[in-house]
Chains A and B, each alone.
Chain A
Amino acid sequence: MYDGIMLGVTAAFSLTNLTMVVAGCLIGTFIGMLPGLGPMSIIAIMIPVAIKIGDPSAALILLAGVYYGAIFGGSTSSILINAPGVAGTVATSFDGYPMARMGKAGKALAIAAIASFCGGTVGAILLIGFAPALSSVALLFHSAEYFALMVVGLSAIAAFAGEGMVVKALLMTVMGLIMATVGESALFNAPRFTMGVQDLQSGFSFITLAMALFALPEALFLVMDPARANQDDADKQIKDLKITRAEARAIAPVIARQSIQGFLIGVMPGAGATIASFLGYAVERNIASEEEQKEFGKGSIKGLAAPEAANNAACTGSFVPLLTLGIPGSGTTAILLGALIALNVNPGPRLMIDNPTIFWSVIISMYIGNVVLIILNLPLIPYIAKLLTIPRNYLIPFILFFTLIGAYIGQNNATELLILVGLGVGATILRFANFPLPPLLIGFILGGMMEDNFARAVNLTDGIQFMYQRPMTLTLLLIGVALIALPIWRRRRAKLSVADGD
């Protein structure tokens, strides 16, 4: 293995491959910043270029660079304009956007960049050290465990179920779960709740929903409430990247935990960056102290660092099943697999033996890519953050434009725009009524996967005994229940003790 790593280091540091890393990262970051353009569409655009390059190592390094560049850049639109372009950065907007609203956009972007860097770096190191051994971890989970994992992920909604909001948050979650059932699922050969509308046959698209729930109501609120957009006082702070020592001490353990947890979740072919970010958010919120918990959803630095570290680590982790088993765990890695095959590379357990240069140079380049990304991004943050100081009569049309384009571009379907505006109006009304919208999106994203895995597990075991048949399933389910029950129990106890004091 040591020889292989050395081979990879030599190959990765060649001039061509270094250029590829830098080019990939740059392209990925800048396109990824646009809401609606996720890594999947960017990689699809880049594939013809990669095939023209011909050399499989260089091509894959370029595509991998685009991939994590896009994840890196994707958090920018989540933080600045509340418009997550990829499901993996939804959790980033929970605390990143409130921070930007408080005039701490620069700090939010810096924390996101550092957390991403750490997540990606830890992921790359784990990949270098354990990739061959991890292929068995990738096959550990059955449908039953994936279902249990989604249940754990769903506990992230607790962050939005604050004082007097429990019922509202639960209502929104159920609403999200219901919306996830629209269209044809993977398991039933019948369209559900489409009301005969052909465009709903494939269900609501994630990007349309994310724009309708987050970006659109936010832009409308800025129009209706000029005070919200007034940031004259915050102008000095907005570019400020400085993270205090106390803050660094608070987020360091979060980043460390989530880098490892995120990586392991990314290794599972049925989970990926989105689940990793929600789980990271849920776990960190529920183990934080009561004081810190109140901050979550309102601009907590821990709540921002956790999903950012987790989703980058998970992206790196998703290369384990791709490179060692030839199994794509996500839509993006499926496209990467297609590109590899087109380049006459057959990923699988023999890749490391037959093509050690490709295998190791790609992994080493991920490490280099992360360094490149942080060097590229940190100096740019003050300028990117300054976008928010654009007067709102220019900024809001700009946000609306990208919101609409983002929803249209992925599908090339004009009906998406009608759905976007319709849902956007609905979401704005819900916000007026003080309903938290993130639980709806969490329910929507996790709901589809939860239902699929549940139905599969029921089908496989002819019943629901799968819940306790394997100890792993049971453990995960118990963790999920504990994460949901713990805060409720804590709060009740706090209330009781207050009552006693009276």
Chain B
Amino acid sequence: MKFTNRIRKTALSAIAATVLLAGPAIAADVDSIHFLIPGGAGGGWDGTARGTGEALTKAGLVGTATFENMSGGGGGKAIGFLIENAASNHGTLMVNSTPIVIRSLVGRFPHNFRDLTMIAGTIGDYAAFVVHKNSPIKSFADLLAAYKANPRKVAIGGGSVPGGMDHIVVAHAMQAAGEDPTKVKYIPYDAGGKAMAALLSGEIKALSTGFSEAVGMAKAGEVRIIGVTADKRNAAAPDAPTLKEQGVNAEFVNWRGFFAAPGLPAAKANAYRAAIAKMYATPEWEAVRARNGWVNIHNPGDKFVSFLEAQEKVIKSLMKKLGFL
């Protein structure tokens, strides 16, 4: 999964944005966007859609943004709705993330991302391996050594079901390290916070979680990050080593992005993509992004397609090996 494209705020684009904003009442690029959120209020999808909508409208890129929560079937209901009512939903963008790939693969959704118009991947989070600050495990190599000695004694927890994202990340890393991913003793928790509590209480030896979630705890000095699935170290936690630099070639990005109805005219899709591309350079977006601790991972249009296909391939082969397919 190397198709991540980090947007950097360069001085140039900042100047361009200032000039743009200073211009006399430029009409919005897109009149309005209706955001379809496949889950309830307060979740990750909800925050992403509302934050993006807020930045787009405040920056003047989009005239108005409306939001609709449509939960059901773990997100499947909204996907089905967008496909069945495609013709009347050209003004709708649906937010989604890595689980759309996973849940389509296991057949939980009757559709998959190819049935939709892929607009752009906008933000993301890397995965991280975390241990207790007092743990004898100090690096990913230590974890591997313990795993080699007896995999049943190395309980690794996560905040998703077996075969879900956190589990797949563990299996991905173990496979890249040359170990048997099916031997992983994965302990699922129903939320990342509960998994973190289990790590601190000593119930599990290591935790597979989102990088941004791990950073806060590492800063507090409670836990140690022993491996990040990014290609290089992140400025938010410069002490946290990547898996790659420890000789384990495993990268993983939990992306979030936007989809539109199938059969959307190309001009309309490109207008959405252009508005989102412009958004990155605006101070309004930077405020929203910083507030939420998101990482810009911009994959517009075709790049989004190839990114998703590559991610699907990796996940599919892992899930086959783990026996979920």
Contacts and interface: CB of A to CB of B under 8 A. Distances in A.
B191 to A, nearest CB: 7
B71 A142 contact: no
A198 B162 contact: no
Contact of B216 (A40, A184, A326, A342): A326
A439 interface: no
Interface string A175-204: 000000000111111010000001101100
Interface string A425-468: 00000000000000000000000000010001001101000000
Contact of A413 (B72, B189, B221): B72
Interface stretch (A41-49, A81-89, A476-484): A41-49
Given A326-B216, A334-B193, A412 B70 contact: yes
Contacts of A201: 72-74, 76, 108
Interface residues of B, number: 50
A342 B291 contact: yes
A452 B41 CA distance: 25
Nearest to A411: B71
A335 B40 CA distance: 12
A201 B291 CA distance: 33
Contacts of A338: 42, 47
B313 interface: no
Contacts of A143: 198, 203
Interface in B19-45: 40-42
Contacts of B106: 189
Interface string A197-236: 0110110000000000000000000000000000000000
Contacts of B194: 269-270, 327, 329
Nearest to A332: B42
B197 A199 contact: no
Contact of A335 (B42, B198, B292): B42
B72 A40 contact: no
Interface stretch (A25-33, A133-141, A283-291): A133-141
Contacts of B233: none
A348 B222 contact: yes
Interface string A327-363: 1110100110110011010101110000000000000
A460 B162 contact: no
Nearest to B41: A44
**Highest count of chain A CB atoms <10 Å: which of B106, B189, B194:** B194
B42 A40 contact: yes
Contacts of B74: 184, 201-202
A349 B152 CA distance: 32
B201 A142 contact: yes
A269 B197 contact: yes
Nearest to B288: A342
**Highest count of chain A CB atoms <10 Å: which of B46, B164, B201, B217:** B201
B219 A325 contact: no
Interface string B191-214: 101101110111110000000000
A341 B72 contact: no
Contacts of B70: 412-413
A413 B71 contact: yes
Given A142-B203, A459-B187, A411 B40 contact: yes
A198 B222 contact: no
Contact of B72 (A140, A189, A335, A415): A415
Contact of A141 (B46, B201, B292): B201
Interface string B43-75: 000110010000000000000000011111110
Given A48-B50, A346-B219, A412-B40, 19 more contacts: A41-B40, A41-B41, A142-B202, A198-B80, A199-B72, A202-B71, A270-B194, A327-B197, A329-B194, A331-B191, A341-B292, A348-B219, A349-B222, A350-B220, A411-B71, A415-B72, A456-B187, A460-B187, A460-B203
Interface of B: 40-42, 46-47, 50, 68-74, 76-77, 80, 106, 108, 152, 155, 161-164, 185, 187-191, 193-194, 196-198, 200-204, 216-217, 219-222, 291-293, 324
13 contacts: A44-B42, A48-B50, A143-B203, A188-B162, A198-B76, A198-B80, A201-B72, A334-B193, A342-B291, A346-B216, A350-B221, A411-B72, A412-B71
Which 10 A-B pairs rank lowest in CB-CB distance, beginning with the nearest? A348-B220, A44-B42, A186-B190, A198-B73, A189-B163, A139-B201, A328-B193, A269-B197, A44-B41, A201-B73
